Amino acid sequence: MSLNNPSDPTPPAAKTVDPSVRRNRLVALICGAVFFGMVGAAYASVPLYKAFCQLTGYDGTIRQAKVAPGEVLGKTLTIRFDANVNELPWTFTAEQTSQKVKIGETGLAYFKVTNNSSKPLTGHAVYNVVPEQAGSYFQKLECFCFSDQTIAAGKTVEFPVVYFVDPQYASDVNTKGKGEVTLSYTFYPAVGPSSGAKRADASQPKTPSALGGTPRAGL
């Protein structure tokens, strides 16, 4: 019978892990982290991109303003209006083909929507301007596109848009020679819960009168 020598400096052999197993585990952890990171980025990218566009006017996205500029220039622009619907049984039209406004002056335009279906529907308007460079200077004080809109069956509602073109439009080399801007809206079905949707009441009077006109009521 053999006995272990207590003075033997050599320890018992430790259990070793195959290097290939360690490598595979590390690769799996990295892949998992990348996957969940990509999923999180995908969910975050839409609101972040929207916020970025509204802040900078990138891709022709109109910026939201809180107050009108204090300066009005002598140069006049022609603002054209375009209305479209995608996958909604609605009739959506601009009540004016175009308007002439001075740079820095507050403009007021109206759009009309009719729900042709037999049930209430909620939509959300997506917007942009052409040329895209004007997105940094075309700003809105009031717009139906800021929230979802629920329209009752068979009802027609009138929506106001209060806007202005920032005076810096006239000094930017990319826009100062452009005398026409097109504002385009497209209504899409609202996505997700509509509990926060703004109900478009056809009997509710409209209050904006940016150009000194009288308020107009829904139809």
User: pLDDT tens digits, residue range 2-15?
Assistant: 555 555 555 555 55
Residues of the chain with pLDDT under 50: 39-61, 194-195, 203-219
At residue 128, the 3 state secondary structure works out as strand
pLDDT of residue 146: 84
CB 92 within 8 A of CB 121: no
Distance from C-alpha of 156 to C-alpha of 92, rounded to nearest angstrom: 10
Residue 37: which region, alpha, beta or left (left: phi > 0; alpha: psi -120 to 50)? alpha
pLDDT value at position 207?
45
Q: What is the pLDDT of residue 112?
A: 98
Give the H/E segment covering residue 41. Answer: helix 19-56
72 close to 104: Cβ distance less than 8 angstroms: yes
Whole-structure pTM value? 0.63
Please give the single-letter amino acid code of residue 167.
Answer: P
Amino acid of residue 86: N
CB atoms within 10 A of CB 162: 19
CB atoms within 10 A of CB 92: 19
Residue-wise pLDDT tens digits, 186-211: 999 998 654 456 666 554 444 444 44
Query: H or E element: which one contains 42?
Result: helix 19-56
